[in-house]
Structure 1
Amino acid sequence: MTLTFAFDNSYATLPERFYTRLGPTPVRAPELIKVNHALARDLGLDPAALESPEGVAVLAGNAVPQGADPLAQAYAGHQFGGFSPQLGDGRALLLGEVQDKSGNRFDIQLKGSGPTPYSRRGDGRAWLGPVLREYLVSEAMHALGIPTTRALAAVTTGEPVFRETPLPGAVLTRVAASHIRVGTFQYFAARNDGEALRLLTDHVIARHYPDADGPLGLLKVVSAAQARLVAQWMGVGFIHGVMNTDNTQIAGETIDYGPCAFMDAYHPATVYSSIDRGGRYAYQNQPDILLWNLAQLATALVPIMGADGEAAVAEASEVLQGFGAQFRTEWLALFSGKIGLETAQEGDEALIVALLHAMSAGQADFTNTFRALGTTRARDHFLEPEAFDQWEADWHARLAQEGASPDSARARMESVNPAYIPRNHRIEQAIEAAVAGDYAPFERLNTVLATPFTEQPGAEGYARPPLQEEVVQATFCGT
């Protein structure tokens, strides 16, 4: 059985200052955890070949498939507001690019494949926990209909990695529309490399936004894509945790699932990252941080927007000033759907905000409350159900203006309000079991999350919020 990738590598044709060519570092005894069969088939790959010894060797970095051109990408980034002029792929390698059945181009990347020149004294490895977390959460995001990188496969390495204690090593094979970030543009802007900025801009436009007109047009379409993406995060209670500019992907996908989580009880100031002690990347701050990140992209692009610097700054500023309205439009449309509205009326935003305030005061579970709207179960999620009762009466009146009832709106609401999310305590339980050699909880959780809008017999426990002793207060970066 032969494993074949139909590589067509465009990023590798850019000048060598965009990356460093090198191969993955082999591991001692790789073993397969999982291959994503559906994604493999979409990419024109044979799942059985990926699961063969030859395939596992490729997925672990012990063999480089024909046509691959492995490289570590260079980029910079603002991390928690502080600028690092050189970051780059410190534990990942882009094997190459393939096209799916529709002709869409995707990167195939190994994550945890060994040190690179950008490792900054790190070992270039990943341990099993973050690999399983990214597999579960990225595939759950895909099932929720939110743009995201995907997980093609995961393998163990047979070698320990050393963090606070020795932990089992693993490698994730990640699929993305590309791995180009705001930080990629910052890398060349910091070096006053206008030629590289123009080449990168042309590459991104050709690959992702062929209708964009030059650097200003690129800023406009990236801003719109990111406004949609972050509104979608807010709609499922997702907190990215590390919205650094090097984690803001130009193609508008969610990328880099490190200290991330989905909220249980709703509170807008929720933070899950162990390193975000100031709450910079709290749930409620994500739109503002995204705008801040877009401003860094604009700063990088302004020098190549035209000869008139002041005019370029004014044009870029106008795009950024329009972001708030873009995001509000996306957010309002999404949350209107979550409460079953089909038309837009003045006062809808206030109605949605009133529900969120009641949920915060009543410590209501974000996912379960929206899922239960229109049923007698909804008020059970509130410590102070009287506040919900008042809101529910106003909501019924608003639905009646559309000639609708909660019952008639339920099908619409259930199509956008999931029954299942990757709850943090369930992920931690799956990781703990896997470290002990039991992958059944990982497999079961992955199966439930694949159809999040359909209530599944026997899966009721996966919709349950954590018990007090199960609450995970913080998640951690996998480096």
Structure 2
Amino acid sequence: MDPFAMCYGGHQFGNWAGQLGDGRAINLGDVVTSEQARYAMQLKGAGPTPYSRTADGLAVLRSSLREFLCSEAMHHLGVPTTRALSLTLTGEEVVRDILYDGHPQAEPGAIVCRVAPTFLRFGNFELLASRGDAELLKELADYTIKNHFPESGPLGKTSTYINWFRTVVQLTATMIVQWMRVGFVHGVMNTDNMSILGLTIDYGPYGWLENYDPNWTPNTTDAAGRRYRFGQQPAIAQWNLLQFANAIYPLIGEAKPLENVLSEFASRYESESQQMMANKLGLLEFGSRDKELLDGLEKVLTLAETDMALFYRGLANVTDEMAPRVRLNCLRDAFYEESELTDPVTNEILRWLNDYLERASADALPDTQRRDRMNRVNPLYVLRNYTAQLAIDAAGQGDFSAVDELLEVLRNPYTGQQDRDEYAAKRPEWARHRVGCSMLSCSS
């Protein structure tokens, strides 16, 4: 293998940031399996690269564990993602200022080996376009199509580049739908963090929705503008695709075909999102009148502070034969504050449950089948921010047993596991405003 670091640019928080590059990621090369599948192997935190600028190219155990745990959790949830092959302590300390507030401290150093078919990003193409290097842009595009999108067509043809862009649009839409399904918030959707394969990449200040809040972002850097908040992720993905389209425009020389393909993102996302929500509700398909049901659900989830994951798992147990109060009891574990369940709030929830059960009955599925359908797509276990932080705290003291146990739980997220109730519990009050549990930075 001949190690290398990638050079790329990117739009960060909506602004062109110029050349960036792998500041602490070292690509070892590709491994080709016996089935001819290609995997790139990359060390993150192994030291400086030509693109480290003034940084040291190292990573701390805290951020490395977060990437390791989350990429594996996402894989087992069925979300497109890079994978983590290994995590290694370096035996050295690395100084980091966690909140960029002038309080640096030494932390254990670590290296993650991550794996993906390729680590190419939108930013690789953006940088070449910004430099006006049409020849190298074409060479990179043809390499990408040949190795990862051969179905797009013969190399060098305009139609091939358009087909390639359409596939990237589709893959990106699918990835975002899956993020929204499980309540994942990436936190820093810059174009240099967008995989050309539609994989979740670069796990930095990410977070998981615990109480449902479309405006929540885990990233302290984004706290003011909330550009990358949960509910905004589909729109940001489309904006990022626009920047990618601008980058590959020189390959096509005509804007209209790219505009036409880009316009397909909204319909693609809507179609997949609607079916995803139908699946979460145990419905066979999304019907013409189901938007009203979803609008009502959105309101119900915000009437009181409601845990997203526990709500859907509880909803799977609600049946038409139950008395109204029994139906509500199926959801009670999802509510953070019992005092918020006033009579008006309770009545609103019960009205929606009645509408939901009436709609579900139209599919004529037995309750057990509906429950099974729902539990296959609504995880019981996600990487809750506080459970990750507890495992990180223990690992920092040399005890990796909590990491091992958490990883074991996350490998089977849809099925209840014996003696694992604490991993399917609401966020405790102490974690509401704790650093690492409710807010994170890009410090790593």
TM-score by length of 1: 0.83
Is residue 2:250 matched to residue 1:303? yes
Q: Secondary structure at the match of 1:397?
A: helix
Matches within 5 A, 1:99-178: 99-163=32-96, 164-178=104-118
Is residue 2:415 matched to residue 1:473? no
Counterpart of 2:409 (choices 443, 448, 452) is 448
Is residue 2:290 matched to residue 1:290? no
**Identical amino acids, percent of aligned pairs:** 39
Partner of 2:284: 342
* Cα distance in structure 2, aligned partners of 1:77 and 1:343: 38
Q: CA deviation at 1:94?
A: 0.4
Counterpart of 2:147 (choices 189, 196, 207) is 207
Matches within 5 A, 1:389-468: 389-468=350-429
Is residue 2:186 matched to residue 1:243? no
Counterpart of 2:169 (choices 198, 220, 223) is 223
What do residues 379-400 of structure 1 show as CA deviations (whole Å, max 9, x unaligned)? 3124433322111111111111
User: Do the aligned residues in 1 keep the contact of 2:217 with 2:230 (CA within 8 Å)?
Assistant: yes
* Cα distance in structure 1, aligned partners of 2:130 and 2:241: 16
* Cα distance in structure 2, aligned partners of 1:408 and 1:337: 12
Q: CA deviation at 1:320?
A: 1.4
* Cα distance in structure 1, aligned partners of 2:267 and 2:377: 23
User: Do the aligned residues in 2 keep the contact of 1:156 with 1:169 (CA within 8 Å)?
Assistant: yes
Is residue 2:125 matched to residue 1:185? yes
Amino acid at match of 2:373: R
Q: Secondary structure at the match of 2:26?
A: strand
User: Do the aligned residues in 2 keep the contact of 1:399 with 1:405 (CA within 8 Å)?
Assistant: no
User: Do the aligned residues in 1 keep the contact of 2:279 with 2:285 (CA within 8 Å)?
Assistant: no
Q: Secondary structure at the match of 1:371?
A: helix
Partner of 1:271: 217
* Cα distance in structure 2, aligned partners of 1:118 and 1:147: 27
Partner of 1:41: none
* Cα distance in structure 2, aligned partners of 1:374 and 1:231: 21
Task: Could you tell me which runs of 5 or more consecutive residues in structure 1 were left unpaired when the two chains were aligned.
Answer: 1-67
Partner of 1:258: 204
Q: CA deviation at 1:101?
A: 4.6
Q: Secondary structure at the match of 2:29?
A: strand
User: Do the aligned residues in 2 keep the contact of 1:338 with 1:417 (CA within 8 Å)?
Assistant: yes
* Cα distance in structure 1, aligned partners of 2:148 and 2:174: 16
Q: CA deviation at 1:128?
A: 0.3
Counterpart of 2:316 (choices 354, 369, 374) is 374
User: Do the aligned residues in 2 keep the contact of 1:231 with 1:331 (CA within 8 Å)?
Assistant: yes
* Cα distance in structure 2, aligned partners of 1:437 and 1:411: 40
Q: CA deviation at 1:405?
A: 4.4
Q: Secondary structure at the match of 2:204?
A: coil
Amino acid at match of 2:149: Y
Partner of 1:318: 260
TM-score by length of 2: 0.89
Task: Could you tell me which runs of 5 or more consecutive residues in structure 2 were left unpaired when the two chains were aligned.
Answer: 97-103, 154-159, 318-326, 336-340
User: Do the aligned residues in 2 keep the contact of 1:86 with 1:187 (CA within 8 Å)?
Assistant: yes
What do residues 82-101 of structure 1 show as CA deviations (whole Å, max 9, x unaligned)? 21221000001000111235
* Cα distance in structure 2, aligned partners of 1:120 and 1:449: 36
What do residues 304-360 of structure 1 show as CA deviations (whole Å, max 9, x unaligned)? 11xxx4xx2111111112211111011111111000011331112221232122112
